[in-house]
Structure 1
Amino acid sequence: SVLYVKVNRVLLMLLILMSLVVLYSKMFKALEGGSESEVETDIPVVICASEERLGAAMTTINSVYSNTKASVFFYIVTLRDAIRLIRRQYIEKTKLKEIRYKILEFNPMVLKGKVKPDSSRPDLLHPLNFVRFYLPLLAISNHKRVVYLDDDIIVQGDIQELYNIKMEPGHAAAFASDCDLPSTHEMVRSVGMLTTYMGFLDYRKQEVRDLGINPSDCSFNPGVFVADVEEWKKQKITKQLEKWMSKNFQENLYSSALAGGVATPPMLIVFHDKFTTIDPKWHVRHLGWSPDARYAESFLQEANLLHWNGHFKPWDYPCVHLDLWEKWFIPDPSGKFSLVRPEI
């Protein structure tokens, strides 16, 4: 009977292992819709497109596509409910029909036991916010690097410049450090912008203190980054990120942070002092932090990438510098996504 119990345990372990393999293999399901197959010389750009914010993601894609001469291949990651809308409405019926792309369906089941709804901003808990943790599991085997962009962004420069950044040896990703925020961000700092680890991690918890990260160290925003796919795999970055998600699920290490949500802190922990810094002009952010803090137009014109992170998005109102974002906006042919603007 002891042998019988042992055999049953082995079989159970194998079953669990197989279930995990199946789950991860189905995490990103590639769907038809790409105009061509991707090739090694393409610049792969990953953008998540939720059903409620499709117009935002398509604006980002349009800005990237319109401002480069390079061959870009878009990986549009979404949930099942938005697939038909993306392909048959937004892409096939607009100028975006010229882009080369593949739609990937993300399986949110992979987040079970790692994320719980305890944020004051439920939008930060959207399953697609965690796609950035799983980049090497996308169907991007032809690419050594990938550019990841949030959907509240417009790109004014040539994405090829960002993609070709010289990565430091042993670094799996490149971000814009909050140490490098331009002086024009000082006014945003005064309304509570978070620029250090203290704003994202709960230093009252022993496990956080044991990390040995100085709370005044500069943070970074993971809404824009370049990933070295091979280095990411080699360092098992996804496993490390999942570890911190699970720890937070059990011990609330950072979910009470002011504005970090639960997707930013694991990135801050795993990549602390282990990332290449990108030119600050390639991530001018916090445009969505306050409806009152405006930046100099000359400064914004010179920026290569603008990011409306924060509550005040350029498709809503109030917001700042909406004219720069709206320049790349493509009206939704289905009419589901519409801009909120003040009545004149």
Structure 2
Amino acid sequence: LYCVTVNRVLLTVLVLTICLILHSRLFREPSQPKLTFSDAKKVPVHTQKLLVDKTAEGKYDIPVVICAAEERMGAAMATINSIYSNTDSSVFFYIVTLRDAIKLTREYIQKTKLRGIKYKIVEFNPMILKGKVKPDSSRPDLLHPLNFVRFYLPLLDISHKKVIYVDDDVIVQGDIKDLYNIKLEKGHAAAFATDCDLPSTHEMVRSVAMQTTYMGFLDYRKKEVRDLGINPSDCSFNPGVFVADVPEWKKQKITKQLEKWMQENFNQNIYSSAMAGGVATPPMLIVFHDKYTVIDPLWHVRHLGWSPDTRYSEAFLQGAHLLHWNGRFKPWDYPCVHLDRWEKWFIPDPNGRFLLNRHNDR
């Protein structure tokens, strides 16, 4: 009798175990694909796959890298809007930001007309700059970690051979496809616009006494600079807009070269943000000296932010494909020139955090 009772108990336990296994297999939720930064929010299960596909970089997409700092979020979104609105090509945006601004970046996109863009939000870890950048009180804005993202393009895991990098104080008036289609010369890892190009640019530069040569960026009193053998009167270039050949960048170990000069400046102070170009431009000037393809100067009309009074002619601006407010006077602040060109693409912050600072508001 005892054996019969034990057998019945064992049989009951076995049946219950089988039932639990079947219940688990039949009613548990199916596993979902892992979401990217740009998608990692709570969304209905049936839309998760769609969002993953939406952010997948396509073979024929034009990849554009832009940084989105929390305090300048509206600037980055205006740049993206101008690029997206002026081309029929498919553009994929790599939007690089710091961890604290990921949510804000996503909301600015998803709550505005930009919800239709293809993009990926990439977190940049500022710890990679430790020991390479020293504080400088004269222009602290130039020391923002995102200013150095352009040094680390291979870390963004871009599948295309070429990529366009643009600063957030840029407005694109032309078709970005034309810039992307530039053919880089053999052995060149990047293409920039030289500072010795358009007569109209020269007039602007003379009026604000801006430097356009290597002398304005490097300290030629230092032996390390003189040993480079670079003529101080050689034309400089602005790395706020450029086209990069990613495989060639990796092949030449451009990032390691840039880091070397960052470290050199950290130890020897061979350049400073008190000079013309801050701390992100000089390493680029050194590494790419005489080793870059020149782009059409109309694809980088700059210096709009160097003076609150000096203006380009409207006729010249109409033919410009890209406008860059490099300098202290930004178009979202006051005072600044050619505000109408920038405000045309500005999208109000849906969270009300990024506000335009205008004279009438004071």
TM-score by length of 2: 0.85
Measured at CA, do residues 116 and 267 of structure 1 come closer, stay the same or move farther in structure 2, by a change above 3 Å? same
Partners of 2:198 and 2:136 in 1: CA distance: 30
The residue aligned with 1:213 is 230
Cα deviation code 1:77-97 (max 9, x no counterpart): 000111101112x11110000
Could you tell me which residue of structure 2 aligns to residue 281 of structure 1?
298
Q: Residues 1-40 of structure 1: matches in 2 within 5 Å?
A: 31-33=37-39, 35-40=54-59
1:198 equivalent in alignment to 2:215? yes
Give the match's secondary structure for 2:256: helix
Shift of residue 186, structure 1, vs aligned partner: 1.2
Cα distance in 2 for residues equivalent to 1:197 and 1:188: 15
Of the three residues 45, 50, 55, the one matched with 2:64 is 45
1:67-109 deviation line (CA, Å, top 9, x unaligned) = 0011100000000111101112x11110000000000000000
What secondary structure, in the 3-state scheme, does the structure 1 residue paired with 2:242 have?
Answer: strand
- Cα distance in 1 for partners of 2:175, 2:166 equals 14
Do the aligned partners of residues 191 and 337 (structure 1) sit closer, same or farther apart at CA in structure 2, a change above 3 Å counting?
same
Counterpart position of 1:136: 154
The Cα of 1:31 is off from its aligned counterpart by 1.5
| The 10-residue stretch of structure 1 (173-182 or 51-60) with the greater mean CA deviation from structure 2 | 173-182
Q: Tell whether the 8 Å contact from 1:30 to 1:105 is kept in structure 2 after alignment.
A: no
> How many angstroms apart in 1 are the aligned matches of 2:321 and 2:275?
28
Q: What is the distance in 2 between the residues matched to 1:187 and 1:156?
A: 20
Q: Distance in 1 between matches of 2:273 and 2:291?
A: 25
Could you say which structure has the larger radius of gyration? 2
CA distance in 2, matches of 1:256, 1:206: 19
Matched position secondary structure for 1:62: helix
Q: Deviations along 1:290-314, whole A, 9 cap, x unmatched?
A: 0110110010011000000000000
Structure 1 counterpart SS, 2:75:
helix
Query: Which residue type is aligned with residue 94 of structure 1?
Result: T
* Secondary structure class of the residue paired with 2:358: coil
Shift in Å at residue 258 of structure 1?
A: 1.9
Q: Which residue of 2 aligns with 1:86?
A: 105
Alpha-carbon distance in structure 1 between the residues aligned to 2:191 and 2:250: 15
Counterpart for residue 140 of structure 2: 122
Q: Give the conservation status (yes or no) of the 8 Å contact 2:204–2:303.
A: no
Name the structure 2 match of 1:182.
199
Q: Does 1:322 align with 2:339?
A: yes
Matched residue, 2:15: none
Structure 1 length normalisation: TM-score? Answer: 0.89
Contact 2:139–2:273 (8 Å) recurs in 1? no
Unpaired segments of 5 or more residues in structure 1?
Answer: 1-28
- Cα-to-partner distance string for 1:112-131 (whole Å, 9 max, x where unaligned): 00001125110100000000
1:181-239 CA distance string (max 9 Å, x none) = 33353143232111000000000000000000000000000000000000000000000
Q: Secondary structure, in 3 states, of the residue corresponding to 2:80?
A: helix
Tell me how far 1:136 sits from its aligned partner: 1.1
1:145 equivalent in alignment to 2:162:
yes
Query: RCO greater where, 1 or 2, for CA within 8 Å and sep 6 or more?
Result: 1
| 1:333-344 aligned within 5 A | 333-343=350-360
**2:131 paired with 1:113:** yes
Q: Deviations over 1:244-267 (max 9, x none)?
A: 000000000001542311100000
CA–CA distance in structure 2, aligned partners of residues 211 and 99 of structure 1: 44
- SS of residue paired to 1:320: coil
2:120 is matched with which residue: 90, 102, 110? 102
SS in 2 for 1:103: strand
1:69 aligns with 2:52: no
Q: Which residue pairs with 1:157 in the alignment?
A: 174
Q: Give the aligned residue type for 1:324.
A: R
RMSD: 1.4
CA distance in 1, matches of 2:348, 2:57: 27
Summarize the Cα distance change of 1:193–1:130 in structure 2 as closer, same or farther, 3 Å threshold.
same
SS of 1:217's partner is coil
Read off the aligned partner of 1:67 and give its amino acid letter: N
> Structure 2 CA distance, aligned partners of 1:119 and 1:187?
27
Does structure 2 conserve the Cα–Cα contact (< 8 Å) formed by 1:247 and 1:253? yes
**Which residue number in structure 2 is paired with residue 10 of structure 1?**
none
Q: Relative to structure 2, which stretch is displaced further, 292-301 or 257-266? A: 257-266
> CA offset at residue 151 of structure 1?
0.1
Is the aligned partner of 1:304 residue 2:321? yes
